[in-house]
Amino acid sequence: MNDVLTDPGREALRQPAAFRTAEGAADGPVDHVLVCKQVHDVNHDTKTFAFEPAGPGLFRHDPGQYLAFTFEIDGREVSRCYTLSSPPSRPHLATITVKRVPGGRVSNWLHDVLVPGAVVRARGPMGRFSTARHPASAYLFLSGGSGVTPLMSMTRTLYDLASPADVAFVHSARTPADIPFRQELALMAATAPAIRVAHVCEDGGRAERWQGHRGRLSLGMLQEIVPDLLDREVFCCGPAGYMRAVRRMLHAAGHPEARYHEESFEAPGPGPVPAPAPAPACAPALASAPDPARSAGDSGPAPRFTVELSRSGTTIECDAGTPVLEAAARAGITLPSSCGEGLCGTCVTTLHQGSVSMRHQGGLRPRDSAQNKILLCCATPLENLVIDA
């Protein structure tokens, strides 16, 4: 644990605009035992949970990274990824900010049960969606709903470092009452000349006379708020539909794709994930522009294998070269997953029969491999399989 919880604070604060604490990421994710130190309301349905390490040490991460948490809920372990809303420049606490979702098992448990003093486990930090990886002199942060958290970490970092980088932060919410961190963002904008904040509300709500932008974010609105958007490194996080619309807008405006980075979030759980549903957890499924390696088609038909899910008794088909998780999703079966890139370990299961090709990024420990564990998001079949799922 102390590998990651070392002393980055002062070193980080010496860094210029581009915050580089990449050692944490380079070391790979690490297991943490965390103690909840504080819970506070962000708005009517969103809370921030602050954690400190159970032992001595400080948090080291890049702004925008996330942790894969394991919570024990009703006697069962449940995993979720949450982006840190805290900046690495405040390394004593790691905070996550969670919106209560009707019927959401984990978000409701966090809101109703998790109190200061509770102990949880987490693995990380993980994720590449970070200003530390794409330093620039001008940023455009675009968030929708709960997608605000990684951008909040990035903005707090740049603010804490008195960075000269120009930040335009445009958040889309349903109503003014749904805007998270409203006062803190206003304070940062008022006291840091390089930070500007604008909110776009679909509905003006009833609690106040909304003076800001109203409706859904459009290209015209965005150009009005940020006339020089083409010159900015763009970071976007929000529901899938929101990000699709943003991508379309920026493409139409001629924004260079290489300077666009996004992170989607989906709530893992039983049943299909509704595409644009706001979720409490930022479970990154995409990072940066689409991966050409995954979209490039192979020539010739790939051999096809069967994958038996021993617990459910279901058998699906999976082409060689296709991750089992993807094949399951295509068959309408949602298996636990978060990062989708072999980092977090959420999709781990036991391989009972057969063999796979797998290239993960630290989501499995050597002892896991010795116990025939595989990560479904990056395991592709080499023959027919039987897995524990």
* C-alpha–C-alpha distance, residues 328 and 340, integer Å: 13
Does residue 96 interact with ligand FES by CB under 6 A?
Answer: no
Does residue 57 interact with ligand FES by CB under 6 A?
Answer: no
Q: Which is nearer to ligand FES, 53 or 363 (CB)?
A: 363
**In a 3-state reduction of DSSP, which class is residue 218?**
coil
Task: Name the helix (H) or strand (E) containing 38.
Answer: strand 30-43
State in angstroms the smallest separation of the CB of 384 from ligand FES.
Answer: 21
Q: Which is nearer to ligand FES, 111 or 373 (CB)?
A: 373
Q: Which is nearer to ligand FES, 251 or 365 (CB)?
A: 365
State in angstroms the smallest separation of the CB of 78 from ligand FES.
Answer: 14
Q: What is the CA radius of gyration of the chain?
A: 21
Does residue 339 interact with ligand FES by CB under 6 A?
Answer: yes
How many angstroms separate the Cα of 7 from the Cα of each of 62, 92, 166? 14, 9, 28
Task: Name the helix (H) or strand (E) containing 373.
Answer: strand 373-375
Does residue 83 interact with ligand FES by CB under 6 A?
Answer: no
Q: Quick one: which segment of 32-40, 92-100, 192-200, 342-350 binds ligand FES (CB under 6 A)?
A: 342-350
Binder of ligand FES out of 345, 358, 385, 389 (CB under 6 A): 345
376 touches 325 (CB < 8 A) = yes
State in angstroms the smallest separation of the CB of 81 from ligand FES.
Answer: 8
Q: Tokens at residue 77, please?
A: 């372990």
171 touches 143 (CB < 8 A) = yes
Closest CA to 277 of 268, 287, 266, 269: 266
State in angstroms the smallest separation of the CB of 97 from ligand FES.
Answer: 21
* C-alpha–C-alpha distance, residues 157 and 165, integer Å: 11
**In a 3-state reduction of DSSP, which class is residue 183?**
helix
Q: Tokens at residue 330, please?
A: 């295509």
Does residue 157 interact with ligand FES by CB under 6 A?
Answer: no
* C-alpha–C-alpha distance, residues 319 and 341, integer Å: 18
Helix axes 148-160, 182-191, angle to 10 degrees: 30
Does residue 29 interact with ligand FES by CB under 6 A?
Answer: no
Q: Tokens at residue 188, please?
A: 């940062």
Binder of ligand FES out of 53, 88, 127, 363 (CB under 6 A): 363
7: Cβ contacts below 8 Å, ≥ 6 apart: 58, 91
- Count of residues in contact with ligand FES, rule CB under 6 A: 13
Q: Quick one: which segment of 109-117, 175-183, 215-223, 332-340 binds ligand FES (CB under 6 A)?
A: 332-340
- The 290-329 contact track toward ligand FES, x by CB under 6 A, reads ----------------------------------------
Binder of ligand FES out of 85, 131, 153, 346 (CB under 6 A): 346
Q: Which is nearer to ligand FES, 157 or 349 (CB)?
A: 349
- Residues forming contacts to ligand FES in the complex (CB under 6 A) are 337-340, 342-347, 363, 375, 377
